[in-house]
Amino acid sequence: MALFGKPRYTIVKVAKKKNIPEGLWTKCPECGEIIYNKKLKENLKVCPKCGYHFRLGAYERIDITLDKGTFKELDKNMFSKDPLGFKGPKKYKSKLEGDIKLTGLNEAAVSGKGRIKGKDVILVVTDSRFIMGSMGSVVGEKITRAVERATEAKLPVIICSGSGGGARMYEGMFSLMQMAKTSAAVSRHNRAGLLFISLLTNPTMAGVMASFASLGDAIIAEPKALIGFTGPRVIEQTLRQKLPEGFQRSEFLLEHGLIDMVVARKDMVDVISRAIGYFS
């Protein structure tokens, strides 16, 4: 018999779970905070708790970098071909078609002319969602043309790299040629006495980092961005030893002299604007 005459078990009625629309919240991969997407967007896609910088798409980056309404896109209708007829687990053509549909981009780079706090600039942004932002013939050509236009117009050029794929090996030697081509364009821009700001975001790796991305007059990185040539796991497996904590992250590279500044996203426009003013 239950104590004091009460029933042994209590029946609890559970209310039906209300339908919560998907896509309203995002979990921070760094601290696990659940963030309301509207709040995340207002905070420039930076976690308000730990400062983790989420990746931005190319047009998102352009929108928060340039003065409103000043962006004029260049070379928009350039598409990659399949010079090698690449066949693997997935054909190159299928990969291109899939990423075009997924991202709404024609390629992994977007270039154009605009203004930052009233100052004219040429801006290029690579997008890691499109074949990891890797550099094939079209990406290399877009970057080269943008830098050459900046040289001709005597304008500063800003290249924001978010490329985890390096050179796009679906195109073989054609992709590797882009490293030399983009670097040569940057060299001519430099000899003309003009400013090149290289902005490194998470991730900037391999052939991109080994070419134009490392040649900036000012090299600025977002916090905790992965930057390097080969990924840390591959290095550890090759050397068979543990790498230092924070290896290949922005702060580690700043401490060792590879980059010039680590700047939070909310401060980036002000820093770039001041740099343009100083160099001018």
- pLDDT score for 181: 95
On average, the pLDDT of the chain sits at 88
Q: Tell me how many degrees the CA angle 162-211-204 measures, rounded to the nearest 5.
A: 20
Both tokens of 265, joined, read 């996203």
Q: Is 227 in contact with 204 (CB distance < 8 Å)?
A: yes
pLDDT at 231 over 80: no
User: pLDDT tens across 177-200, in order?
Assistant: 999 999 999 999 999 999 999 999
Residue 4 has pLDDT above 70, yes or no: no
Contact criterion met (CB below 8 Å) for 266 and 46: yes
Rounded Cα distance between 202 and 56, Å, is 9
Q: How far apart are CA 113 and CA 74, in angstroms?
A: 7
Tokens of 193: 């006495």
Outline which parts of the chain fall under CATH 3.90.226.10: 56-279
Residue 184 Cα to chain centre, angstroms: 23
Alpha helix positions (H), the chain: 37-42, 58-65, 92-103, 137-153, 173-191, 206-209, 232-239, 250-255, 268-279
Q: Which residue has the higher pLDDT, 22 or 271?
A: 271
**What pLDDT, in 10s, does the model give residues 100-112?**
999 999 999 999 9
Task: Please state which CATH number belongs to domain 56-279.
Answer: 3.90.226.10
Higher pLDDT, 164 or 79: 79
The yes-or-no verdict on residue 73 having pLDDT over 60 is yes
Residue written as tokens 């992994």?
108
The predicted structure's pLDDT at residue 1: 47
